[in-house]
Structure 1
Amino acid sequence: MELYKEMIKTSGKRKADFNFVIDVLLLFRPGIIGRGNKEYSINSYAMLKNYFKIGWRSMLRQRMYSFIKIGGFAIGIAACLLITLFIREELSYDTRYQNGDRIFRVVVAYNFNGESGKDVWFQAPFAKALKDDYPEIEKVGRYNSSELFGAGSAQIRRDDQPDNTYEEGFVYADQALLEILQVPMVYGSLAHCLDNPKTIVITKRKADKFFPNENPVGKLMIVNNNEKEPYRIGGVIENLPPASHLQYDFFLTMTGVEFWKGEQSDWGATNYPTYIQLREGSDKSQLEKKMIGVINKYLLPRWIKDGVPNADVLAKSAWFILQPVKDIYLKSEGISDPVSHGDIRFVWLFGAIAAFILLIACINFINLSTAKSANRAKEVGLRKTVGSNRSSIINQFLTESLLFSFISFGLGLMLAELLMPFFNSLAAKSLFIPWKEWWFIPIVVASSVIIGILAGIYPSFYLSSFKPIQVLKGNLSKGSKNSFTRSTLVVFQFTTSIVLIIATAVIYRQVNFILNTKVGFDKDQVLVLRGTSTLGNQVKTFKDELQQLASVKGVTVSDYLPIKGTKRNGNGFWIEGKQNEDHSLGVQFWRVDPDYIKTMGMKIVDGRNFSPDAVSDSASIIINQTMARKLGLKDPVGKRVQNWRAWNVVGVVEDFNFESLRNEVGPLCMVLGESPGIVSVKLNAQSLTAALPAIESLWKKIAPHQPIRYSFLDESFARMYDDVKRMGRIFTSFAVLAIIVACLGLFALSSFMVEQRGKEISIRLVLGASLQNIFSILTVNFLKLIVVSIFIAGPIAWYMMNQWLLDFNYRTKITWDVFAITGGMAILIALFTISYQAIRAALAKPVNNLRSE
């Protein structure tokens, strides 16, 4: 500008203006622009480096608070990661099938005469009828997993070896089922592996066990000691993935199989879950409506022929549902089927627990950052005084938050890796951290950035809001609003933790209730020997010799037991002569021997037990109280009931639970008949130790090449509730983690409060305050917050656990003592957490705090 003024004086204004414009244009040089960007970049890098340096130094200056921030964060991240992996596994079930969007399981639903239900059991010819009558269906496959016909578990061996081994996972299956599921083949052809009679397909793990280092296709295997009819291996498939609702290792062909004469054309018995694959472009909803034709064309004529009461009304009360294969594992509530399930409600519940634990850790970070604001206030004031604007200060504190987040994520990942074996044992899973997956590290980095920013937003805006003049004069407000925010967050932390503790207590109380409630039979000291059908004609000899042992009180031979994993057989029953008046009642139809009721400790409440002379009771039937009630039989003894034949009711047995206590007792009846797959032995409690060697010795004498397999009835009964116990253990673990994280925050806040009120405490001590007075002053406010948390958590936990208990027909009550004990525990834990700081402050020398006054 000085040159411009000189130019006006010497050369005139016009020339000066021209030269000025030229000089300005010459300033726009690429070099200047480039240097400007470079300098800006250098300054930004330097500023970011400075932010991290300041954050690191601040972390080292306040080691205890930094440890609590990072430790709590790391625990929250580890818990969140473990549960996320669990949820990922649960949601991945049956999602890897080729053409999975066109694969469905057929479900029949009914609502008849006040009774409703859903199941997947269909007649043998049902699959062929679907394939023949509906062109929309490309493939139909079925399987039979019923132990009634030899599936489930069996003895098996190579044909060139004498000794059998027991194996689980046997199933009869169609060739089409393997084609629908598109299971990869290791050896053999998928298209024809089960085409021929007496063929078997095994998984790779079983091939490696029985035929190591060789191709077993074409080799023979003996199933259940039946050497006359060996199975030829038609193929080896890859192991079914863990995330599959079907978990079998031995697929026995259905080709040429009939479980009784004419079974494959029999529209009476229902034993087959059935799967279909639709053709591309087919309408699932329209097909569901059209499939009603199966009932009218095939089932209704059979029901009328069998004399099923009100068969035409029953036909109009049923319909079909095509359930996507990916929904079977998590979304089969209320459907009767033979496979194990997860529960979508528990998946989301565990997800909420993970989120809450991580939120508790974030709350610790927020609370401690704002609580220690006075220590950073002068730094903020000085920065603003020398020219820093609010955005740069916000950036600084957000950078520090990111630093904490990165360190916490690193420690959290290491902690999750260490806890993984323990968590797998809790959840009965085989989870692992997917380090090698390309997406894992980017997600971890992105998550650490997002969580770091979210956790740091409030403290950053709060700390950057300080006024420089007030701060530097020492007039920083104590911040009642901020104190209220911290109190609210503490209440949230402990409310969440107390809800988890109450939930854990209720779960364990329900498990204890189940295991100790009266179930209508004596499950103690009953030894269950499985696979005894392979003894053939020697089963009776085995039973007779068992009864001679001094340690044995009773023996019964029957595959039907009141626990899961044993035979079931449903039949329709009605009162004889009332086909046109009554509706048929679905009843469990069990074949037992004369000693069954006595050995199982069941009680006859009317009539008599079966006679040892089986011939005289060949047409006799014993029913339970529920069957008598639902058939309307007030005096059932002497009455006649009918299914495919007529039976004389000779006795009524007291209701006993033969399924999970989640369900009410259903109608059941017993008749005399052969069912030799299981021998149950009632033992003397005083001679249990001597009984087992004696029984094993007797078994080896009768079946030297067959392994003995046994369990105790009470243990099998308890295993029916492993999912509930597993849920309880998971809740316990994460409740402990939540309490630890919450207590870390409470410990740090109590330390901060002692530091903030140090001079006040010293003055009180000088004026004669006792240790108890000081302890009370420092703890009462925190205990008030815990009490508030208890009153908030109580109704939430009560509602949540009452909803969970509705799954059980037999359930415990949630009584006041659960809340009282949990509340007391929460107060004691909180008191223990803050007592160290309170006692330390009360015992401190007043002169140390008052020296500066």
Structure 2
Amino acid sequence: MFENYFKIAWRTMSRQRLYTGIKIGGLAIAIGTCILITLFVRRELTYDQHYQKGDLVYRVYRESNLHGETERGVYFPAPFAKALQDEYPEIELAGHYNPSANAGAGGNTVRRGDEIESAHEEGFVYVDQGLADIFELSFIRGNAQKVLLEPNTIVITQRIADKYFAHEDPVGKILILNNDETQVYTISGVVQDPPATTHFQFNFLISLAGKEFWKGEKTAWMSSNYLDYIRVRPGTDVAALEKKMDALIGKYFVPSAAASGDDRSLMAWVKSLHFKLQPVRDIHLNTAGVGDNLPHGDIRYAWLFGAIAFFILTIACINFINLSTARSAHRAKEVGLRKVVGSPRSQLVNQFLIESLVFSFISFALGLALARTSLPSFNTLLASPLTFPWEAWWFVPLLFLGAVLIGFVAGIYPSFYLSSFKPVDVLKGHTTLGARSSIRSLLVVFQFSISIILIVATLVIQQQMHFILTKKLGFDKDQVLILQDTHTLGDQIVAFKNELVQLPNIKNVTISGYLPLEGAARNGNPFWAEGAKEPEEGVGAQIWSVDHDYLPTLGIDLVAGRNFNVELASDSQAVIINQTMANALNLHDAVGRAIVNPWNQKWNVIGVMEDFHFETLKKHIEPLCVVIGRSSNIVMVKVGSKDFQRAIESVSGLWKKFSPHQVLRYTFLDQRYAAMYEEVHRTQQIFTGFAALAILLACLGLFALSAFLAEQRSKEISIRLVLGATTGSIFQLLTRNFMTLLFIALVIATPLAWYMMQRWLEDYVYKISISWSTFAVAGLVSAVIALFTVSYHTIRAALANPASRLRSE
């Protein structure tokens, strides 16, 4: 019997090649898309799931609340981890790491001890043994229990070991960082590369044993440089432990704040602190607003993409249902004859379900092939190394189950509908499709509603991205070269800068670790206006150490006062503030006034700079002041002409003079700025793709449906033509219903799309307003595409010879 079902299914597919191609093609595209999105969602939801004791691992973060404003952070002082383990028996292990670039983490140049050529590497992190134990690092070489207990030791990943010690045992070998003889490390172990699905990414682990980044760090409780993790003992009441941990505030933090001087804002902040524990498996998608400067996913996007995958698959299934029911008249006599010769309805239902399953399995095979072919491009788009989990026992059975489920869902309604025809009515030619036509109309409305929503989303994201890239920022990001690894020059950096300025095509050069980019060096400190009634919390502001060429190099304008003067010794106590800080301190005529810094020192305001955006447009411009001083040695070069290649060649030549064994690495400020919004650009591309897919699938269904309607009304069209109807009137007759459905879809989609995109724009402080024209464009695009889709069959029907259709009447 089943063999007969398959034969009938194959014959049906062979006779209706156009409709078969549309059904299978639409389902294959939708299934391939769903597989790719499922791989992405699975990756996002499985971050940090590889720890055997992951349910016992937590990251510590702090929470404070002053005057109704909640602030969270994850950086703690050096002695905090040890105090946690010493004070609370519930904590089995405590550890921490320092990711600060100022401490030497992040990127460094590295060379073997027996070589002179250096190469740049990323992924340096300072860690202690406790953290290695908590994260259950898999060591290939070295003693896992002692590998980070000795000073001046370093652990490298398998990838780094293969790169620098391809055929050697790296343990015991020497690595030198930044060509600095004080940064000589002995390799103590090799660890497996961290999986892509962990928030803790690294290439080099430098031991914190014996390391003190500044004098007194090990006993200082008012610094914030380390991220701390704990592993609790099984059965621990985490909520109770959080409350107990607050006792450390009174024991260590309050006395340390009191010893730091008469700083009422610091004491108020310390007393408002509470400690919280965040499960390690929640870190990637649930940041809790802690500002850890790590790359994160967004749980909203994971669920949104999942929902879009569901809707795309739904659209394809709707096409299948629509075409199956629309073609019912062609199979009505078959159903009637089978019932006359004794076929029960259950047998007919089974036959049509088998046909649906055949369609589904063929579509699944093609969809899987499409997904595998598209995976490299999808990975590039998402910047995520997705792979098919063929090794997982559940993957292939899940694919099989998915094919069965889709075949059943898409085929159950057409099966019962087709098998419901009454033999007497069918054989007399009395088959009615009116009620079913209404259902098909609702399904078409649903398809185009989804398509319009995705078109609106794409347009809004594109408009916001254009706004971001063209907004006046308050500084000039164009033609600014950022030289990397210049900290390796040490004391020679000033001489390097002086010679850079002499090069042709170089307008200006500045040295500062503070860049107007998110993720660059930042700090926060309270300030007061001299003579003002001091609010307890002060005015929080950034302090940036710059040189006198910083403002001219970046084109930051002064609205009052002057820039720093290298000839004036008094400028060592001078400060330039931005407009936001002047307003926050209520300094309407700020130049010549004094402000009190966190160390109770007076700084004289010599200038007020125009507000400029030094974070993303998701944040307000904060109070900022700049002072003369040395910070991390990052060199920025303002190029005078657009002949960047010649300027880069000149700079590279000078670099060779100062650092002959190190390749010059550089980026451009405008590129770094655009990179801050790479996620937005990626989202725009993804939604564009989703919208295109949704429209394609909807149009495939519309194309086939218009062919059916044109065929169903062929005799009516012929009679109208005989009676004098024009081709235009026939076209209008056949497209009127589709345009009505499209209008209804636009009415339904407009408020939904507006609400969704308003919620998305809430992440931005500086943003566009959604215009009615966006919805008009979405509707117009949909209408043009729909008209183009149905025009082939409608025009063909209008131009057909009426005599050939009415000959049998």
TM class by smaller structure: over 0.9
Q: Which amino acid aligns with 1:816?
A: W
Q: What secondary structure is seen at the aligned counterpart in 1 of 2:180?
A: coil
- Cα RMSD (Å): 1.6
Match of 1:348 in 2: 303
Correspondence for 1:79 among 33, 50, 53: 33
User: C-alpha displacement at 1:512, in angstroms?
Assistant: 1.1
Q: Which amino acid aligns with 1:640?
A: I
User: C-alpha displacement at 1:48, in angstroms?
Assistant: 1.8
User: C-alpha displacement at 1:767, in angstroms?
Assistant: 1.9
Q: Which amino acid aligns with 1:606?
A: A
Correspondence for 2:748 among 770, 786, 792: 792
Match of 1:484 in 2: 438
Q: What secondary structure is seen at the aligned counterpart in 2 of 1:573?
A: strand
1:532 and 1:676 in contact (8 A); partners too: no
Q: Which moved more, 1:171-180 or 1:684-693?
A: 684-693
Report 1:450-465 matches (<5 A): 450-465=405-420
Correspondence for 2:382 among 427, 436, 458: 427
C-alpha distance in structure 1 between counterparts of 2:229 and 2:376, whole Å = 36
Correspondence for 1:332 among 281, 287, 303: 287
Q: Which amino acid aligns with 2:299?
A: I
C-alpha distance in structure 2 between counterparts of 1:614 and 1:261, whole Å = 32
Q: Which amino acid aligns with 1:744?
A: L
TM-score for both structures, normalised by structure 1 = 0.92
- Cα distance change, pair 108–614 in 1 and its aligned pair in 2 (3 A): farther
Q: Which amino acid aligns with 2:673?
A: F
Q: Does 1:783 align with 2:739?
A: yes
C-alpha distance in structure 2 between counterparts of 1:259 and 1:448, whole Å = 59
What are the superposed Cα offsets for residues 606-629 of structure 1, whole Å, 9 maximum, x if unpaired?
A: 332212136322222222222333
2:152 and 2:185 in contact (8 A); partners too: yes
User: C-alpha displacement at 1:578, in angstroms?
Assistant: 7.3
Q: Which amino acid aligns with 2:784?
A: L
- Cα distance change, pair 138–585 in 1 and its aligned pair in 2 (3 A): farther
- Cα distance change, pair 824–292 in 1 and its aligned pair in 2 (3 A): same
- Cα distance change, pair 596–705 in 1 and its aligned pair in 2 (3 A): same
Q: Which amino acid aligns with 1:353?
A: I
User: C-alpha displacement at 1:138, in angstroms?
Assistant: 1.4
Report 1:195-594 matches (<5 A): 195-305=149-259, 306-309=261-264, 313-477=268-432, 479-575=433-529, 581-594=535-548
What are the superposed Cα offsets for residues 786-837 of structure 1, whole Å, 9 maximum, x if unpaired?
A: 1211121111111101100111111111111211111111000001101111
Q: Which amino acid aligns with 2:596?
A: V
User: C-alpha displacement at 1:602, in angstroms?
Assistant: 0.9
C-alpha distance in structure 1 between counterparts of 2:134 and 2:527, whole Å = 36
Match of 2:72 in 1: 118
C-alpha distance in structure 1 between counterparts of 2:535 and 2:409, whole Å = 69
- Cα distance change, pair 101–585 in 1 and its aligned pair in 2 (3 A): farther
What are the superposed Cα offsets for residues 190-240 of structure 1, whole Å, 9 maximum, x if unpaired?
A: 211111111111111111111112210111111011124411111111111
C-alpha distance in structure 1 between counterparts of 2:629 and 2:543, whole Å = 11
Match of 1:743 in 2: 699
1:309 and 1:580 in contact (8 A); partners too: no
User: C-alpha displacement at 1:360, in angstroms?
Assistant: 0.2
User: C-alpha displacement at 1:661, in angstroms?
Assistant: 1.4
2:242 and 2:277 in contact (8 A); partners too: yes
What are the superposed Cα offsets for residues 479-506 of structure 1, whole Å, 9 maximum, x if unpaired?
A: 2211110000001001101111111111
Q: What secondary structure is seen at the aligned counterpart in 2 of 1:790?
A: helix
C-alpha distance in structure 1 between counterparts of 2:472 and 2:210, whole Å = 46
Q: Which amino acid aligns with 1:688?
A: F
Q: What secondary structure is seen at the aligned counterpart in 2 of 1:280?
A: coil
What are the superposed Cα offsets for residues 642-681 of structure 1, whole Å, 9 maximum, x if unpaired?
A: 2135131332222222122111112222221112521000
C-alpha distance in structure 1 between counterparts of 2:586 and 2:46, whole Å = 47
User: C-alpha displacement at 1:718, in angstroms?
Assistant: 0.4
1:401 and 1:452 in contact (8 A); partners too: yes
Q: What secondary structure is seen at the aligned counterpart in 2 of 1:521?
A: coil
Q: Which has the larger radius of gyration?
A: 1
Q: Which moved more, 1:444-453 or 1:625-634?
A: 625-634
2:452 and 2:746 in contact (8 A); partners too: yes
C-alpha distance in structure 2 between counterparts of 1:848 and 1:345, whole Å = 58
2:268 and 2:536 in contact (8 A); partners too: no
User: C-alpha displacement at 1:575, in angstroms?
Assistant: 4.5
2:528 and 2:534 in contact (8 A); partners too: no
Q: Which amino acid aligns with 1:778?
A: L
What are the superposed Cα offsets for residues 377-428 of structure 1, whole Å, 9 maximum, x if unpaired?
A: 1111112222222222111111111111111111111111111111111111
- Cα distance change, pair 224–614 in 1 and its aligned pair in 2 (3 A): farther
1:614 and 1:672 in contact (8 A); partners too: no
Identity of aligned residues (%): 54
Q: What secondary structure is seen at the aligned counterpart in 2 of 1:336?
A: coil
What are the superposed Cα offsets for residues 313-369 of structure 1, whole Å, 9 maximum, x if unpaired?
A: 434432121000000000115221121100000000000000000000000010001
- Cα distance change, pair 686–426 in 1 and its aligned pair in 2 (3 A): closer
Q: What secondary structure is seen at the aligned counterpart in 1 of 2:338?
A: helix
Q: What secondary structure is seen at the aligned counterpart in 1 of 2:706?
A: helix
Q: Which amino acid aligns with 1:95?
A: Q
Q: Which amino acid aligns with 2:647?
A: A
1:368 and 1:748 in contact (8 A); partners too: yes
1:576 and 1:646 in contact (8 A); partners too: no
- Cα distance change, pair 667–132 in 1 and its aligned pair in 2 (3 A): farther
1:109 and 1:318 in contact (8 A); partners too: yes
- Cα distance change, pair 632–174 in 1 and its aligned pair in 2 (3 A): farther
Match of 2:725 in 1: 769
1:146 and 1:567 in contact (8 A); partners too: no
- Cα distance change, pair 652–268 in 1 and its aligned pair in 2 (3 A): farther
What are the superposed Cα offsets for residues 724-763 of structure 1, whole Å, 9 maximum, x if unpaired?
A: 1111111111211111111000000000011111111112
User: C-alpha displacement at 1:186, in angstroms?
Assistant: 1.3
C-alpha distance in structure 2 between counterparts of 1:440 and 1:159, whole Å = 47
> Unpaired segments of 5 or more residues in structure 2?
none
Correspondence for 2:780 among 821, 824, 832: 824
> Unpaired segments of 5 or more residues in structure 1?
1-46
Matched residues, number: 806
- Cα distance change, pair 735–313 in 1 and its aligned pair in 2 (3 A): same
C-alpha distance in structure 1 between counterparts of 2:539 and 2:258, whole Å = 15
2:125 and 2:206 in contact (8 A); partners too: yes
